[in-house]
């Protein structure tokens, strides 16, 4: 099956060497069994991210670079990446080494018959967290606990970007956030529509390079609003998400 790896980037020039030394060897390993493309989305970087991505993609026909003229947010970058991805399976991951690129094969091994999404899960009983700022863990884990209560208690982590999706999910499941909520919104809406999620227990690390772009209070507010909307759906006071038409899903 064809594989697309979608990587949003915004002012990540310090992370580009990591992509060359850590991601590219993994891609070569994966290409022994399937065709693989990498889709970088430069989300309005003001540093030399786009130029560096262009340099490392020279003579690499299986690397695509999409560029936003200004910063539109993680959710918008994901939608752009999905629109450019052609694989049957789409992996999304951070550019900063939060989850090791060498874990992509293991993540894919959890996408078996009966599952439509695999999400990295540091909050799984077999997962863990290393050297991540405490406030970030409290925010992420606290949000996941609330989603466990109102969506599905069997899923421990709702906030990871490192995931594998079957193509149909990215084409048919609506999500509207332009910010960091987007990955959670996509997965939760997929679950409410009947798609199945598997967890890949792993360790969440601190960034290997660069600085976080997260705006904490904005993220908290977005999650609270989304969680309130889920409760309204559960009480049948708001409609469930409806699948997008195939041709309009990107």
Q: Which of 68-77, 179-188, 234-243 has the lowest mean pLDDT?
A: 234-243
> Tens of pLDDT along 131-143?
888 888 888 999 9
Instruction: Tell me the C-alpha to C-alpha distance, in Å, between residue 80 and each of 7, 32, 141, 156.
Output: 11, 27, 28, 28
> Tens of pLDDT along 94-151?
998 889 999 999 999 999 988 999 999 999 999 999 988 888 888 899 999 999 999 9
> Tens of pLDDT along 7-19?
999 999 999 999 9
The C-alpha atoms of residue 132 and residue 160 are separated, in whole angstroms, by 14
Nearest CA-CA partner of 239 in 157, 177, 174: 174
Question: Which residues are 5's β-sheet partners?
Answer: 38, 91
In a 10 Å sphere around its CB, with 0-12 CB exposed, 13-18 middle and 19+ buried, how is residue 65 labelled?
middle
Please give the DSSP secondary-structure letter assigned to residue 239.
Answer: P
Residue 82 clears pLDDT 90, i.e. is over it: yes
Structure tokens at 176: 């509207």
Structure tokens at 83: 């629109």
Alpha carbon distance, N-terminus to C-terminus of the chain: 20
Rg (CA), the chain: 17
Domains of the chain from N-terminus onward: 3-241 (3.90.550.10)
Nearest CA-CA partner of 99 in 137, 135, 130: 130
The stretch 224-234 carries a mean pLDDT of 91
Residue 234 clears pLDDT 70, i.e. is over it: yes
Coil vs helix vs strand at 170 = helix
**What's the pTM value of the predicted model, to 2 decimals?**
0.90
Residue 164 clears pLDDT 70, i.e. is over it: yes
The C-alpha atoms of residue 13 and residue 48 are separated, in whole angstroms, by 6
> Tens of pLDDT along 191-200?
999 999 999 9
The stretch 11-39 carries a mean pLDDT of 94
């Amino acid at each position: 099956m064809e594989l697309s790896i979608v990587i949003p980037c915004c002012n990540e020039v310090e992370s580009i060497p990591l992509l060359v030394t850590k991601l590219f060897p993994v891609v070569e390993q994966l290409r022994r069994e399937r065709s693989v493309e990498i889709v970088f989305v430069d989300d309005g970087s003001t540093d030399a991210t786009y130029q560096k991505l262009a340099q490392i993609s020279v003579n690499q026909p299986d690397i695509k670079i999409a560029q936003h003229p200004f910063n539109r947010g993680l959710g918008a970058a994901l939608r752009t990446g999905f629109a450019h991805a052609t694989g049957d399976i789409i992996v999304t991951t951070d550019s900063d080494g939060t989850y090791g690129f060498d874990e992509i094969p293991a993540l894919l091994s959890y996408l078996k018959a009966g599952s439509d999404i695999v999400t990295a899960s540091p909050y799984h009983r077999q997962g863990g967290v290393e050297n991540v700022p405490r406030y970030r863990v409290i925010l992420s884990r606290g949000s996941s606990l609330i989603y466990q209560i109102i969506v599905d208690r069997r899923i421990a982590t709702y906030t990871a970007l490192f995931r594998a999706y079957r193509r149909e999910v990215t084409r048919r499941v609506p999500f509207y956030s332009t910010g960091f909520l987007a990955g959670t919104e996509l997965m939760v809406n997929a679950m409410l529509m009947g798609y199945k999620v598997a967890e890949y227990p792993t360790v969440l690390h601190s960034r290997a390079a660069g600085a976080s772009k997260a705006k904490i209070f904005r993220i908290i507010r977005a999650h609270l609003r989304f969680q309130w909307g889920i409760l309204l759906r559960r009480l049948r006071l708001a409609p469930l998400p409806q699948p997008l038409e195939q041709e309009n899903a990107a």
